[in-house]
Amino acid sequence: QSALTQPPSASGSSGQSVTISCTGSSSDYVSWLQQHPGKAPKLIIYEVSKRPSGVPDRFSGSKSGNTASLTVSGLQAEDEADYYCTSYAASNPPVLFGGGTKVTVL
Amino acid sequence: QVQLVQSGAEVKKPGASVKVSCKTSGYTFSAYYIHWVRQAPGQGLEWMGWINTNSGGGTKYAQKFQGRVTVTRDTSISTAYMELSRLTSDDTAVYYCTRDMYMIQFDSWGQGTLVTVSS
């Protein structure tokens, strides 16, 4: 059982938006990772809402209370992947991962 | 460009140990922490530990792995290592190293190393 709670799946049609929640952390240090099958994870959001260079602005992050959210707008086929939230915590373990959300583009 | 290149796949028997390396290039090794994360087949990501790659070399491990995992580094060759002992079948997983730019900003990842534990 993960310390951060994510829905196991989410879906949306091509061009639409999908939002994934991540509950369980009040930290300002929340990151989101995208992972395609058989590949290493890729950082797409850090510090709740910042995007690394090269990540499309279709990806956005936010937080309210102890729930962080990732929104993928204008869904494209290549967005079909697993998404993981991760948070820094003042505990052990100090790094928490959500269980992951599989996004399907219909 | 920043690269993290891990050692190859391993097959180990229960009770054995495994040591995975993570050779970095393209940046100042001692400037950023290295974390180790694993992923069992069909499962999610699990944090194992980190190392402060500067001269102090301080480490922190997930309580779950305390006493079984050791993360070290060799600054002379910009390489981090993760050793896991007393392996069981539950340790079968892909092990990743990742660079932490600042507070879990995991911006670069190794390609992963599959460790299979089987009798």
Per-residue model confidence as pLDDT tens for chain A (106 residues): 568 999 999 999 999 999 999 999 889 999 999 999 999 999 999 999 999 999 999 999 999 999 999 999 999 999 999 999 999 988 888 999 999 999 999 9
Rounded CA-CA distance B12/A98 in Å is: 29
B44–A99 C-beta distance less than 8 A: yes
Residue B46, chain A, CB below 8 Å: the answer is yes
Of chain B, the percentage scoring pLDDT greater than 70 comes to: 100
Question: Given its phi and psi angles, is residue A47 left (phi above 0), alpha (psi -120 to 50 degrees) or beta?
Answer: left
Residue B42, chain A, CB below 8 Å: the answer is no
A99–B107 C-beta distance less than 8 A: no
Question: Could you tell me which of B64, B1, B98, B69 has the C-alpha nearest to residue A40?
Answer: B98
**Could you read off the pLDDT of B14-42 as tens digits, one per residue?**
999 999 999 999 999 999 999 999 999 99
Q: What is the mean pLDDT of residues B55-71?
A: 92
Rounded CA-CA distance B54/B79 in Å is: 12
DSSP 3-state assignment of A105?
Answer: strand
Is B4:B107 a contact under the CB 8 Å cutoff?
no
| A50: DSSP letter | B
> Residue B17 corresponds to which tokens in the numbers above?
């140990």
B76: Cβ contacts below 8 Å, ≥ 6 apart? none
